[in-house]
């Protein structure tokens, strides 16, 4: 075990080095994803019956286990689209999520992401999933590439749900499954 002490010394040395030169990245991927979610409303067009009418707000739902710790609520307060506010709802199950404009589908103990997505298919809901929660994909699927939060877009699925996605958002996707 003569080397044991030397390994510890190496680790400590590296820790000191690490502490002396802190990384510049201060935000977590969850912070950035929370910031993305309300912004999607600006680049998506819902079918007339599903779009908010009158002065009603856009409804952004977090369905299942919420990884954002209030991050989506504060991000939504800073955004509005054509004068409409964006309200956030936290839902335990997919029941009732059919009225959401945007649904971040996280899954939970009782229902997987895939099962939640299946229940929302065909409804005019912009489903958003996260590679952190497994391989199940909604219309928008977050992933972290090269230390940046990016996403895939399933335009084919969106068109089945009668949702149109602007070219500005499509241009940001790392992959688009086309109609």
Partner 1 sequence: MRRTLGIGACVFYFAFGSSARAEQGVDAQDLANLTIEQLARIQVRSASKTEEPLSSAPTALYVITNKDIVDSGVTSLPEALRLAPNLQVQRIDAAQYAISARGFNGLEAGNKVLAQIDGRTIYTPLASSVFWNLHSPLLEDIEQIEVISGPGGTLYGPNAVNGVINITTKDAEDTIGGLARVTAGALERTAGLRYGFPIGRSGAMRVYADWHDTQGFPAAPGRPEVDDDYRGWQGGFRSDFGNEGDHFTVQGDLFRTDADVLAGDNARGGNILARWNRALSSSSAVQVQAYYDDFRREFTDVVDSVKTVDGQGQVNIATGRHQIVAGGGIRTTRDLFVNNLNIFELVPDSRRLWVYNVFAQDRFSVAPTLDVVAGVKLEKSTFVGWQFLPNLRIAWQPNQRNLVWAAVSRAVRTPSRIDRQLEAPGFLDPAPDFTSEKLVALEAGYRGQPSRSTSLSISAFLNFYDDIRTTEFATDGTPPFQLKNGWKGRTYGIEAWATMQVTPIWRLWLGGSTLWKDFHLKAGHIDLIPFNSLGSDPKWQVRARSEFDLAPRLQLNLQARAVGKIDQAPELGSYVELGGKLAYRLTRQLELYLYGSNLLHHLHQESNNGAAQLPERSILLGTRVTF
**Between 56 and 78, CB nearer to partner 1:** 78
CA-nearest of 167, 173, 133 to 151 is 173
Using CB under 8 A, which of the segments 44-52, 55-63, 83-91, 135-143 binds partner 1?
135-143
CB atoms within 10 A of CB 86: 25
Please give the C-alpha separations between residue 59 and each of 104, 154, 171, in angstroms, as whole numbers.
11, 21, 25
Q: Rounded distance, CA 152 to CA 175, Å? A: 5
- Give the contact letters, 65-104, x = binds to partner 1 (CB under 8 A), - = no: x-x---x---x--xx-------------------------
Residue 177 makes contact with partner 1 by CB under 8 A:
yes
Residue 109 makes contact with partner 1 by CB under 8 A:
yes
Out of 56, 118, 164, 170, the residue judged to bind partner 1 by CB under 8 A: 118
Q: Computed over its alpha carbons, how large is the radius of gyration of the chain?
A: 20
Residue 32 makes contact with partner 1 by CB under 8 A:
yes
Residue 28 makes contact with partner 1 by CB under 8 A:
yes
**Between 55 and 146, CB nearer to partner 1:** 146
CB atoms within 10 A of CB 30: 17
Residue 21 makes contact with partner 1 by CB under 8 A:
yes
Question: What SS3 class is residue 78?
Answer: coil
């Amino acid at each position: 075990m003569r080397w044991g002490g030397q390994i510890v010394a190496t680790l400590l040395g590296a820790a000191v080095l690490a502490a002396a030169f802190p990384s510049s990245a201060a935000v977590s991927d969850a912070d950035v994803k929370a910031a993305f979610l309300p912004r999607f409303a600006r680049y998506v067009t819902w079918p007339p019956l599903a779009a908010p009418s009158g002065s009603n707000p856009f409804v952004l739902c977090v369905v299942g286990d919420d990884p954002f710790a209030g991050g989506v609520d504060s991000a939504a307060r800073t955004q509005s689209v054509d004068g409409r506010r964006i309200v956030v709802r936290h839902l335990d199950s997919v029941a009732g999520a059919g009225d959401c404009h945007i649904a971040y589908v996280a899954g939970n103990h009782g229902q997987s992401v895939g099962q939640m997505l299946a229940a929302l298919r065909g409804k005019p809901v912009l489903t958003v999933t996260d590679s952190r929660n497994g391989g199940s994909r909604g219309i928008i699927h977050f992933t972290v590439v090269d230390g940046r939060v990016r996403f895939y877009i399933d335009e084919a699925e969106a068109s089945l749900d009668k949702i149109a996605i602007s070219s500005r958002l499509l241009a940001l996707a790392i992959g688009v499954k086309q109609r």
